[in-house]
Each structure stands twice: as C-alpha cells, then as structure tokens.
Amino acid sequence: MDDDPSLPNLSTKGLDWLGVGVSGIVYALDEHTAVKVAPIWDNDDAATRESLQELLIERSIYERLGSHPRICQYFSSIQRGILLERFGDPIRKHLRALYEQGKTPSRKQALKWSYQLAEGIAYLHQKGVIQGDIGCHNILLKGDDIKVCDFSGASVDGKPHGVRYEKRSQRWGDAEENPSIANELFALGSTIFELWTTTRPYENETDNIVEDNYKHHRFPDVENLPVAKVIRKCWHGTYSSADEVVADLTLCFS
C-alpha cells in the first residue's frame, strides 16, 4: 500500500518527538504545528502497511470533521502523514501533577472541561464518528481549554474500530462488540470522573477486579461530585446521545 504520490514529502529528521499514537509518531514541526507520520518499519512490511492504513483512516476522519473548537485542527497532508494543530499536552499529565500535589481541579475548571469534552464527543457522533478510545490520554489541554485528538482507531459510519477503550472506560460485557453510542457514553462518564478526581475509576485495583465490578454494576462513589448525576447516567446507560450529556452539564452551571 502506498500513499497518494502527489502529496509532498517532509523529513522528520531533527524534529523534536512529542509522542506516539496508534497510527504513528508525532513530532513538533514548529510552535503551532505538529506532524504525525506513519513510520516505515525495518524488516516488517506488515507493520508498515498497517501504520499507513491507520493513518489514512485518521486523515479521512479529520477531513470529514472539518473545523470545530473542541477538535484538534487538521491542516493538510504529506506523504504518510498529516499536519495538525499543536495544542498543549494530554490533560492526564496535568491531572497527575495535581494528584501528586494532593489537589483536584476547581469546580469551575472541571465543569468547563466536562462540558467541552461532551460537546466534542457530541460533534463527533453527529458526523458519524465514534472515537473508540475516549480518555484523558486523548484529550489535549492548553490554557483552560481542551480538544479531542487521535482518531486512527475510530469507527466511521458503524464500521469496526481499531482500538479498545481503557479497561476503566470499557462498558461491562462489551469488549468484543462493534462500536456503539452506549460504549462511547460509558467511557465519557469514566473520563469525566477522572477530570474531577484526577484518577481513573478504581485506579488502584487490578483490571480483573475492575471488570468484575463493572459487570455487576458496581461503580466508585461519586456522591460528593457536582456532576454525580451525569456520571451515573453515563455508567448506567441512561443516556441515548452525547447531546443529552451536554444538556445535563449545562444545568450544572446554574
């Protein structure tokens, strides 16, 4: 498999490395732009083809999404790569720093992030995209605002996705199912939980215990959180759309 030969080439030699996503390696091109490339693996043609295929999926999703304030901005494409807005760091990095200091975000900040996240997910769903891996590792923070990123494993128009949610964001019994709004909203609830508490649900438990708890509908106590109702409704499958989550979070501002 080859990329479009008409696309320009861009060397990443000498560029600072920012991170690794499902479909490739992310570098800093300049202060405002990042480049994500599908690597060419030595002596592994299958991995090379797979990384390109995943990047092509992500490129097509960014092109479908267009511009939205809660989605990382796509600029253009290069051979085996895409140019994206360089927007801060994963919010989990910030939350971990707060956790180590024994702090949590302010009510105002956590509510804003929760609303922005739900707004972004609602937009994805309106465009026929299920992110498939909602979590604080795929949310970028810059200043007081967040954006959703990394769509290489996402589902488009109901097609199978290429990744799974983190164990603490995976709805019970659905690990093998095709992407669904129910799975997506469950993960949204777990992510909102982390935005408020700085830790994932059942952070210190083993994956097996987490899975067993979820299968028996046992969830962490959220009674003291201002968004307790929203998180519970995500976990218990009460919502039918992310738009409903946005609406409930809007009420929390009053």
CATH of the domain at 224: 1.10.510.10
Distance CA 195, CA 112 (A): 10
61-84 pLDDT per residue, tens? 999 999 999 999 999 999 999 999
Q: Is there a domain that residue 5 lies in? A: no
**Domain finish residue from 27, 50, 85:** 85
Q: Look at residue 136 in the predicted model and tell me its pLDDT.
A: 96
Instruction: Pick the closest to residue 32 from 151, 145, 142, 149 (CA basis).
Output: 142
Alpha helices of the chain — where are they, by DSSP H? 45-65, 91-100, 107-126, 181-197, 207-215, 228-235, 242-252
Identify whether the C-beta of residue 229 lies closer than 8 Å to the C-beta of residue 111.
Answer: no
**Do residue 72 and residue 172 come from a single domain?**
no
pLDDT at 164 over 80: no
Q: Look at residue 167 in the predicted model and tell me its pLDDT.
A: 59
Please give the tally of structural domains in the chain.
2
Instruction: Pick the closest to residue 162 from 241, 80, 58, 11 (CA basis).
Output: 58
pLDDT at 177 over 60: no
**Burial (CB count <10 Å: 0-12, 13-18, 19+), residue 177:** exposed
Q: Look at residue 67 in the predicted model and tell me its pLDDT.
A: 97
Q: For residue 70, give the 3-state DSSP assignment.
A: coil
Which one has a higher pLDDT value, 4 or 91? Answer: 91
Which residues form the domain of 24?
A: 16-85
**Do residue 62 and residue 112 come from a single domain?**
no
**Domain finish residue from 85, 114, 133:** 85
Which one has a higher pLDDT value, 179 or 119? Answer: 119
Instruction: Pick the closest to residue 84 from 148, 179, 155, 172 (CA basis).
Output: 148
Instruction: Pick the closest to residue 21 from 150, 139, 136 (CA basis).
Output: 150
Structure tokens at 2: 């080859």
Distance CA 172, CA 207 (A): 12
Distance CA 131, CA 121 (A): 8
Q: Is there a domain that residue 159 lies in? A: yes
Sorting pLDDT into bands at 50, 70 and 90, what band is 25? very high
Residue with tokens 């956790």: 99
**Domain finish residue from 46, 61, 85:** 85
Q: What is the pLDDT of the chain when averaged over all its residues?
A: 91
Neighbours of 242 (CB within 10 A): 23
Instruction: Pick the closest to residue 10 from 25, 32, 23 (CA basis).
Output: 25
85-97 pLDDT per residue, tens? 999 999 999 999 9
**Do residue 74 and residue 112 come from a single domain?**
no
**Do residue 149 and residue 248 come from a single domain?**
yes
Distance CA 190, CA 169 (A): 6
Instruction: Pick the closest to residue 158 from 115, 194, 136, 129 (CA basis).
Output: 129
Which one has a higher pLDDT value, 228 or 45? Answer: 228
200-222 pLDDT per residue, tens? 999 999 988 988 898 889 999 99
Residue with tokens 């987490």: 210
Which one has a higher pLDDT value, 34 or 166? Answer: 34
**Do residue 128 and residue 49 come from a single domain?**
no
Residue with tokens 């501002």: 253
Q: Is there a domain that residue 144 lies in? A: yes
**Do residue 76 and residue 193 come from a single domain?**
no
Q: Which stretch, 43-47, 56-60, 90-94, 178-182, has highest mean pLDDT?
A: 90-94
